[in-house]
Structure 1
Amino acid sequence: MNSRRSFIKRSLLASMVPLTGLTPVFGMSILGGNSKRKVYIFSKHLQWLDFDEMALTAKNIGFDGIDLTVRPKGHVIPERVKEDLPRAINAIKAAGLDADRMTTAITDPEDALTIDILETAAKEGIKNYRLGWFDYNPTLSIEENITGFNLKLRGLAKLNKELGLTAAYQNHAGEMAGGPVWDMSLMLDGIDPNLVGVRYDIRHATVEGGTSWPLGMKLLADKINSFDVKDFIWKKTDGKWRPFNVRVGEGMVDFDRYFQIIDELSIKGDFTIHLEYPIGGAEHGATTLSCSSDEVISAMKKNLNTLRSFL
């Protein structure tokens, strides 16, 4: 705890001067010219800090905002959203950061906690939130599953319209809905992407798509309203090949091609950085670190610098 407090005190002093190496790259870039896209930090990786310390730390690293976890085991748990979400938003805004984005586990428009979370979020000025994931029911056909997902998303779209919110469904590698990417196009059929769209994750798209992921990205282009960013490599362990997460720019994601497509198709949306590789438990949302806070902060700076070099 003392080391954490010491870090926060050093951060207060550091906030008085620019952070070395955190100046965005202007001029010529992959996205062309001066990018105005914002970069958020996923608050899952800062759950070892309270609201005020989280916000101050993110500000001093150089992020534009915080993508707040409002879900089970998150910074704000759903059962306490009315009490804790306003406190978290106030802390983020007090640090001079954007507080208009959150990540949830929401999938059911009729759940009482869904209503509580979204109504509170709307009052606090949140505009974009990430949904939870749907699982395919093996007793139903793929088509029947997708029809059911579409109905749920239509219900959420109706809520979002009433509250002035935009939701995003993230593609995630594996057999859950959104893994193959193309299914999201069907899941979202007939739904205004300004109400429910796609949180496009290039890491997961590359795991599933190999070298064909650009086709899926183009298919979803008019539905994408935000981005999650991370990287990975394939590694063989126990005789099986598995994806292992690494720092942005050190893995298999073709960021040059990724940003080229974003630019060519004028895909809108801001970015949330994820650090899912081993950094003292912060990668899993730990509330106590097994490494120094400086190591976690250094990792965040490196990922931010790399992403900003593309913008």
Structure 2
Amino acid sequence: MKPNIMPYDRRSFLQTLAMAGAAIPLRSLAFPADSREIHGFSKPFQFPWMDYAMLCETFAAAGLNGVDYTVRPEGHVTPDKVAQDLPKAVAAARKAGISAKLMTTAILYADDPATAPVLQAAAAEGIQYYRMGWYDYEKGKPLLESLHNRGNQMKALAALNKKYNIKAAYQNHAGLKIGAGVWDLYEMIKEVDPAWAGVQYDIRHATVEGANSWPVGLQLISPHINTIVIKDVRWIQQKGKYVLENVPLGEGMVDFTGYFKKIKELNIKAPISLHLEYPLLTKEDESLPVSQKQKIVQAKLKKDVDTLKGWLAAM
């Protein structure tokens, strides 16, 4: 659901940002400019107390270049209200001095009645890339036949994207849907025009599915990558079973040194969507005043932004 918008004192909020920034080493100021823009994924920030303005001001204060809005059911912008709410969301980003070039959707089919209105509204606001939903394998059909059929559906989306001058990005997400193994994603997308539909490469999910083999899949699919996702994860033992735990950047098992080396070798230059999938507030934090909760969230975000900027600067 779209978060409820609560009023707040903007002067107090900005003072809070200043104090939060003062409490954190401003390492990002020492980094040289990099061509890879960093956009914050809005999903983890869908708090009922954080509206578009506070979200974008928080992102700007943390050093992000832009926002990757969720434009899907239960997102920051819902498809049924995209014409009214997306302009407001983008305007908040621009007012905060950041861009809104990326969005995350549930779009899968060109002929879905909800698809064209979302793309039309996004194009009107200058959004350039959108992440799609995920395809299932078709029940009762051979895997390769299913991949061929899904590839044709992506071709239809690419044709619609060309009309609106916007690009689709299919994320390799760990699990049992198409794209988890990357090789099946390549089989599906290899004949789709990369100018209008490509891949949002997620190294976290690639690591989970192929701890040692991910560089091979990355190289295979590199010509189709148009956006990338950055987040970290690790395996932990819980109640006798190994489960995945999302963690701040640099605290997990993703080999970011090797990853960015490979990114440089393959000359992949694409907008980055930074995901903070770990808990941003504890149960105790939830009872704090809005200004204090915002300070905690912004500090965690800035820590990941600074870590990522450090890796990019070292490339």
Give TM-score scaled by structure 2 length.
0.88
SS in 2 for 1:278: coil
SS in 2 for 1:299: helix
By relative contact order (CA 8 Å, sep 6+), the higher-ranking structure is 1
* Inter-partner Cα distance in structure 2 for 1:307 and 1:4: 31
1:167 equivalent in structure 2: 168
Deviation at 1:4, TM superposition (A): 8.8
1:42 equivalent in structure 2: 41
Cα distance change, pair 47–22 in 1 and its aligned pair in 2 (3 A): farther
SS in 1 for 2:114: helix
Give the gaps of 5 or more residues in structure 1. Answer: 28-33, 283-287
2:15 equivalent in structure 1: 10
Deviation at 1:19, TM superposition (A): 7.5
Q: Residue by residue, what CA displacement relative to the aligned partner does 1:71-116 show, whole Å, maximum 9, x if unpaired?
A: 1111000100011001111111111101111110101111111111
Cα distance change, pair 289–216 in 1 and its aligned pair in 2 (3 A): farther
SS in 2 for 1:310: helix
Q: Residue by residue, what CA displacement relative to the aligned partner does 1:210-256 show, whole Å, maximum 9, x if unpaired?
A: 11110010011111111111011111223222221111111100001
2:26 equivalent in structure 1: 21
1:31 equivalent in structure 2: none
* Inter-partner Cα distance in structure 2 for 1:290 and 1:165: 41
* Inter-partner Cα distance in structure 2 for 1:101 and 1:243: 27
Note the 1:159-238 alignment, pairs <5 A: 159-238=160-239
Structure 1 residue 80 corresponds to structure 2 residue 81: yes
Give TM-score scaled by structure 1 length.
0.89
* Inter-partner Cα distance in structure 1 for 2:132 and 2:294: 29
Note the 1:47-196 alignment, pairs <5 A: 47-48=46-47, 49-196=50-197
1:43 maps to a residue whose letter is S
Runs of 4+ in structure 1 over 4 Å off: 1-7, 11-20, 288-291
1:141 maps to a residue whose letter is P
1:270 maps to a residue whose letter is P
Cα distance change, pair 136–91 in 1 and its aligned pair in 2 (3 A): same
* Inter-partner Cα distance in structure 2 for 1:196 and 1:111: 17
Deviation at 1:280, TM superposition (A): 2.6
Deviation at 1:149, TM superposition (A): 1.1
Q: CA RMSD in A?
A: 2.5
Deviation at 1:56, TM superposition (A): 1.2
SS in 2 for 1:58: helix
8 Å Cα contact 1:275-1:300 kept in structure 2: yes
8 Å Cα contact 2:20-2:298 kept in structure 1: no
* Inter-partner Cα distance in structure 1 for 2:101 and 2:143: 34
2:45 maps to a residue whose letter is L
SS in 2 for 1:211: coil
Give the count of matched residue pairs.
300
* Inter-partner Cα distance in structure 2 for 1:53 and 1:141: 48
2:279 equivalent in structure 1: 278
2:3 equivalent in structure 1: none
8 Å Cα contact 1:199-1:226 kept in structure 2: yes
